[in-house]
Amino acid sequence: MTKHHPRAISRVMPAGSHGLPLVAIVGRPNVGKSTLFNRLARKRIAIVHDEPGVTRDRHYADTSAFGRDYTLIDTGGFDPDSDDPMKSGITRHVKSAIEEADVIVFVSDAEVPLTSADRVAIALLRKSKNPVIYAANKADSPKMDADAFELYRLGVDKVHPISGLHGRGIGELEASIIAALPAKTEPGDDHEGLLPRISIVGKPNAGKSSMMNRILGEDRMIVDSRPGTTRDAIDALVERNGKRYIFVDTAGLRKKGKVTKASDTVETASVGLAVKAMERSSVIVLMCDAAEGVAEQDAKILGLANDRGRGMIIALNKSDLLSKEQIAKAEEAARDKISFAPFAPVVLVSAKTGRGSAELFKKIDAVASAFHARVPTGELNRFFEQVLETRPPPTMGGRAPRLYYITQAETAPPTFVVISSSPDSVHFSYQRFVVNQLRQHFGFEGVPIRVVYRERRRGKKKVAEGHEEA
């Protein structure tokens, strides 16, 4: 009898699976869906640009109106007649969003006549079992309402003339959305704010979206051989072996000189979103092409994560294409390039075959745990006493500083405070030694450790400039 082993299961869970209903915004390209998305989300999340087709992936954001919480989904422009494989992929994503959503908001452009794409979309929406709300965007004044009402010719019951840019008609639209939502249910015990958030970053075309699709187990991210396919930072709630994570696929980060040109404002905004995604994540997975190795720009990306105190993992993608000797050289080269972060683990993966996925999740769990780890004060000071006995701080500038005790002030990242008689006299080499001892004794795999030295005084404490981070 063949023995079957349980397989590791990864599945994407809609953002509304934690109790919030889903509202999908759909429509053809350049009707202002992302502008409306930002208006309803009450913050600038999706990239807004005059170029058609800027939004390509599905994008989620939690928001609320009239005391009711819900999750918005922004989608790419629906263009069923296009032969472009990219736009065909967008159409599949729009259909997937419609299937996921509890309520659908169809957006047309009040400034132009209805197109064949509008008509096909409306015909598709009529087959949906869920409520559909129709909004004619860019109706900036009442005199444009007559143009917005062209939707009535297709048998639509009610049309909302709105302006996502100026906010006209948004309140009435929100009221209709709330009225169409399913009955409110009690939220589950899990909350996304308590789940580890993992951002996948790297240069364009490093395989980030392919790895996301591998993790999610579905073709959710649009994968294309052209660099820069992903422009927004996309969140996905994932469950694997009973554990939940939020994964964020980000736009590829290029060299600064390539993204600061006035003609490339979309690329610049994408980099900003990627950096913001890093700031709100606990773990950063840097995707690199194993054959190309860790480039200077990869090291700069990891440097951004290090500066922000995020947990870090280096994933060498396409490792299935290399020999053992080539893999060994790739790992060694990666270590040399990221010598400033020797604590970051290196994992060999293949988004195409799934190789290394289990090891990647193992490291994600370890780094996420270390990111939030707290050492009890008693245990910490027993450790610190041993450190001082083994190697007391050296004399610097004719002064021998005394170190009294250490405490952990914060987690995420782990931050420690050492009380000293003279913080400015603690040599940087000794500060580095203390960090290394903390890591050696308590682990903190993949996580920067920050140590701040404060002077012990009566009354108000002075924070010294000297501190070490590694």
Q: Is the pLDDT of residue 174 over 60?
A: yes
In percent, the amount of the chain with pLDDT more than 90 equals 41
Pick the CATH number of 20-180 from 1.10.540.10, 1.10.260.40, 3.40.50.2300, 3.40.50.300: 3.40.50.300
**Is 34 marked as a binding-site residue?**
yes
Which residue type is seen at 219? Answer: D
Q: What does the alpha-carbon distance between residue 30 and residue 48 come to, in Å, rounded to a whole number?
A: 10
Dmax (CA) of the chain: 88
Q: Which of 52, 114, 102 is nearest to 73 (CA)?
A: 102
Which CATH fold would you assign to the domain 377-469? GMP Synthetase; Chain A, domain 3 (3.30.300)
**Is 155 marked as a binding-site residue?**
no
Q: pLDDT grade, residue 104 (50/70/90)? A: very high
- Give me 86's structure tokens: 């990219």
Which residue type is seen at 157? Answer: D
**Is 446 marked as a binding-site residue?**
no
**Is 209 marked as a binding-site residue?**
yes
Q: Is the pLDDT of residue 2 over 70?
A: no
Q: Is the pLDDT of residue 347 over 90?
A: yes
What's the average model confidence in pLDDT over 151-176?
91
Lowest mean pLDDT among 33-47, 137-151, 228-242: 228-242
At 216 the three-state DSSP class reads helix
**Is 203 marked as a binding-site residue?**
yes
**Is 137 marked as a binding-site residue?**
yes
Which residue type is seen at 431? Answer: Q
Q: What does the alpha-carbon distance between residue 273 and residue 201 come to, in Å, rounded to a whole number?
A: 11
Top-confidence residue, 157 or 365: 365
Assess if CATH 3.40.50.300 describes domain 192-371. Answer: yes
Q: pLDDT grade, residue 204 (50/70/90)? A: confident
Distances in Å between the Cα of 147 and the Cα atoms of 27, 136, 151, 152, 155 are 17, 9, 9, 10, 15
Mean pLDDT for all residues in the chain: 78
- Give pLDDT, residue 436: 95
What's the average model confidence in pLDDT over 319-329?
93
**Is 397 marked as a binding-site residue?**
no
Top-confidence residue, 20 or 46: 20
- Give me 250's structure tokens: 């980000």
**Is 378 marked as a binding-site residue?**
no
Whether the model clears a pTM of 0.75, i.e. scores above it, the answer is no
What's the average model confidence in pLDDT over 217-239?
54
- Give pLDDT, residue 3: 38
**Is 238 marked as a binding-site residue?**
no
**Is 242 marked as a binding-site residue?**
no
- Give pLDDT, residue 413: 93
pLDDT, one tens digit per residue, over 45-86 is 554 444 444 444 446 677 899 989 888 888 777 766 555 544
- Give pLDDT, residue 265: 42
pLDDT, one tens digit per residue, over 259-301 is 444 434 444 344 445 566 677 789 999 999 999 988 887 888 8
Q: pLDDT grade, residue 449 (50/70/90)? A: very high
- CATH 3.30.300.20 residue spans of the chain: 377-469
- CATH 3.40.50.300 residue spans of the chain: 20-180, 192-371
Query: Residues with Cβ < 8 Å from 103, sequence gap 6 or more?
Result: 21, 22, 23, 24, 70, 130, 131, 132, 133, 177, 180, 181
Other C-beta atoms lying within 10 Å of the C-beta of residue 386:
12
- Give pLDDT, residue 253: 56
Q: Is the pLDDT of residue 224 over 60?
A: no
- For residues 82, 88, 93, 96, the Cα torsion angle rounded to the nearest 10 degrees is 90
What's the average model confidence in pLDDT over 75-98?
58
- Give pLDDT, residue 246: 84
**Is 350 marked as a binding-site residue?**
no
Q: What does the alpha-carbon distance between residue 113 and residue 136 come to, in Å, rounded to a whole number?
A: 11
**Is 146 marked as a binding-site residue?**
no
Lowest mean pLDDT among 33-37, 112-116, 126-130: 126-130
- Give pLDDT, residue 278: 75
**Is 202 marked as a binding-site residue?**
yes
Q: What does the alpha-carbon distance between residue 137 and residue 167 come to, in Å, rounded to a whole number?
A: 10
Antiparallel, parallel or unpaired: β 311-317 and 346-348: parallel
